A and B are shown apart, each in its own frame.
Chain A
């Protein structure tokens, strides 16, 4: 047999798998349609300048090429930035809120020998012009509707706020250099390093406890207690979202004070979607109230995306138990 390899991290989809992926996608798109979200598609290729305008710190595009004029094109690394561009240009004068959804491939770089995909199918929504807490609650509700429609039973949704930890640091007047180290440790998930950095600050026991342990809190609404100042406001914001959720959605939520969102454009609430049968998140999202302004149409916004291949793995995992 002649071997014609394909790039690592890419794959062919054969009929049995495709049938199941299509069923998942159809269930998702049905929920979007019934909820009044209009499906859009954007080019797989964008100008690098456009993507960087949207997201300097977030998921960096991994694949670049030159077009015939020498402009740099990138394969999109997520869908939110292209849709922010689309909304600001094609719906420049439309009355908010805008409810948009998508089903499309995105591309990220991989580390070798780790089974990571370069190409993955994302399904998600962007709700533009709907501020917190109502817009956030709508997005979370739709997220649970989609996961229910897909057939997952044991999923949970982590809910945090990217502003919470910086607000804690402000409240304690942590020096800039230490602040950078603490945030880096938090984003890396290095709680041991975080505790070490906090100990080195020589704070009183209460402040040290607050900085070291708060981002490790996750669970019910009680984890939001005991936060003051701007951190208290962030916690209040999360409580406000929670209060607007129906019980069937609220029972899925795990408050997670260490959730930072890996993408640079988030401004408030952030989500992570988990299933006990899979060691990595199924997807995530959050509020990005500043992103559309960078494209000239300032609107508060919230959105999320799920990786369809991971939904498929989790679904099979739940079925096998």
Chain B
């Protein structure tokens, strides 16, 4: 049986990237090249691959990366993935909220008079589960871009979206009506790598717990 190669780590570009690279620095992984080159995607020497956050579970599930860092929001949106979730890293704290335009809540009137509420979101599974769990009928409209636009134009009555500070919501005249779940960055692992590279993964875990 051949020697076990070091770990390949999937790092999300975007909001979690800076904290994630700091975390990897703390593990003794040289992230200087990753920080200085935002076009390159694969950093073989450091064992880092960078990608859009929602792709992290895809790469880790298939074993193209051994471990990865991703927001709980992404994991909740794809709960059926064959992944191990090893650690709550604590940073990147955001809240998944239900929001609508300020003033009298248009969602309440829609539910009362029309029997269902229209909701725009980038997280259709989380939104669907939230409305099912609370016994309300909802029509979920999946949008790819700025969700805040949807209730302002009359496309929908409310939105389900992730917010860190609430600034973007407030700037668009939206208020939080319900908090659905708090999301932080998570360390995930491919189940096969978790067995075959146990020592390397446990080493990372122990140092993260201690740090």
Task: Give me the interface of A with B, judged by CB distance under 8 Å.
Answer: 111, 153-154, 156, 158, 188-193, 195-196, 216, 218-219, 251, 254, 256, 272, 274-276, 278-281, 321
- Across the interface, do A192 and B186 meet the contact criterion of CB distance under 8 Å? yes
B64 within 8 A of A: yes
With A154-B1, A154-B2, A219-B198: A279-B192 Cβ-Cβ less than 8 Å:
yes
Q: Which residue numbers of B lie inside 8 Å of A, CB to CB? A: 1-2, 4, 61-64, 79-80, 82-88, 186-187, 190-196, 198-199, 202
CB neighbours (8 Å) of B196 from chain A are 156, 254, 274, 276
Q: Is the CB of B63 within 8 A of A254?
A: no
- Distance in Å: Cβ of A197 to nearest Cβ of chain B: 12
Could you show 20 A-B contacts with beta carbons less than 8 Å apart? A154-B2, A156-B195, A156-B196, A188-B79, A190-B84, A191-B86, A192-B86, A192-B187, A193-B85, A195-B88, A216-B86, A216-B202, A218-B194, A251-B1, A254-B195, A275-B192, A278-B63, A279-B64, A280-B82, A321-B2
B31 → chain A, closest Cβ, in Å?
A: 23
Which residues of A lie under 8 Å from residue B1 when comparing CB positions? 153-154, 156, 251
If A153-B2, A280-B82 are given as contacts, then 20 extra A-B residue pairs at C-beta distance below 8 Å, sorted by A number, are A156-B1, A156-B196, A189-B82, A189-B83, A189-B85, A189-B191, A191-B84, A195-B88, A218-B198, A219-B199, A274-B192, A274-B195, A274-B196, A276-B192, A279-B61, A279-B62, A279-B64, A280-B192, A281-B192, A321-B2
Q: Determine the chain B residues whose CB is within 8 A of the CB of A254 once the complex forms.
A: 195-196, 198
Please, which residue of chain B has its CB at the minimum distance from the CB of A275?
A: B192
The docked-state distance in angstroms from the alpha carbon of A219 to that of B193 is 13
Q: CA–CA, A249 to B207, complex, Å?
A: 33
Beta-carbon contact of B87 and A158 below 8 Å: no
In angstroms, Cα B80 to Cα A216, docked, is 20
**Among A158, A196, A251, A279, contact of B190 (Cβ-Cβ < 8 Å):** A279
Closest to B59 in A: A279
Q: How far is the CA of A190 from the CA of B189 in the complex (A)?
A: 10
Choose from A111, A156, A196, A272 the contact partner of B88 (Cβ within 8 Å): A196
Residues of B within 8 A of A276 (CB): 4, 192, 196
